[in-house]
Structure 1
Amino acid sequence: MTSQRDLKIAVWIMIVLLVTGIVCYASFCPPVPKNPVRLMFQNKAGKVLFTHLMHTDNYSLDCLDCHHNIEDDETYNCSECHGETGDESMPSRADAFHAQCKGCHEDYGAGPVECNACHAQ
Structure 2
Amino acid sequence: MGNSTFQGVGLLQKRYTSILAVVAICLVVAVVGYGASSDEKPVPARFVLDNTGGRVISSHVEHADDYGYSCDDCHHGGSENENVSPVPCGSCHPKEFDNDFKIKHQTAFPDKEYCLRCHDDAPKAGTQLAEDDRPDPEMIPTRGDAFHDQCMGCHQSEEAGPYGEQSCYECHARK
Q: CA deviation at 1:62?
A: 1.0
- The answer to whether 1:44 aligns with 2:49 is no
Distance 1:36 1:49 in 2: 12
Query: Among 67, 72, 81, which residue is 1:72 paired with?
Result: 81
Offset from partner CA, 1:65-105 (integer Å, 9 cap, x none): 11113232221111111111263321001100011101211
Give, in whole Å, the separation in 2 of the partners of 1:108 and 1:61.
Answer: 19
RMSD: 2.1
Residues 1:68 and 1:108: Cα distance change in structure 2 (over 3 Å): farther
Give, in whole Å, the separation in 1 of the partners of 2:77 and 2:96. 19
TM-score (norm 1): 0.63
TM-score with structure 2 setting the length: 0.45
**Runs of 4+ in structure 1 over 3 Å off:** none
The alignment covers a number of residue pairs equal to 89
Which deviations, in whole Å up to 9, do the C-alpha atoms of 1:10-38 show, x marking residues without a partner?
xxxxxxxxxxxxxxxxxxxxxxx712101
Question: Take 1:63 and 1:108, find their aligned partners in 2: how far apart are those partners?
Answer: 24
Residue among 94, 109, 112 paired with 1:83:
94
Contact 2:52 2:95 in 1 (8 A): no
Secondary structure of the corresponding residue to residue 40 of structure 1 = strand
- Residue type at the aligned position of 1:76: V
Query: 125, 142, 152: which one pairs with 1:92?
Result: 142
Identity rate, percent:
42
Q: 2:156 aligns with which of 93, 96, 106?
A: 106
Q: Does structure 2 retain, via aligned residues, the 8 Å contact 1:85–1:91?
A: no
Match of 1:53 among 51, 58, 61: 61
Where is the strand percentage greater, Structure 1 or Structure 2?
Answer: 1
Superimposed CA distance per residue, residues 36-78 of structure 1 (whole angstroms, 9 cap, x where no aligned partner): 1012333332221111111112211111111113232221111
Deviates more, 1:47-56 or 1:81-90: 81-90
Question: Match of 2:138, SS?
Answer: coil
Greater Cα radius of gyration, structure 1 or 2: 2
Unaligned runs of 5+ in 1: 1-32
For 1:118, the equivalent position in structure 2 comes to 171
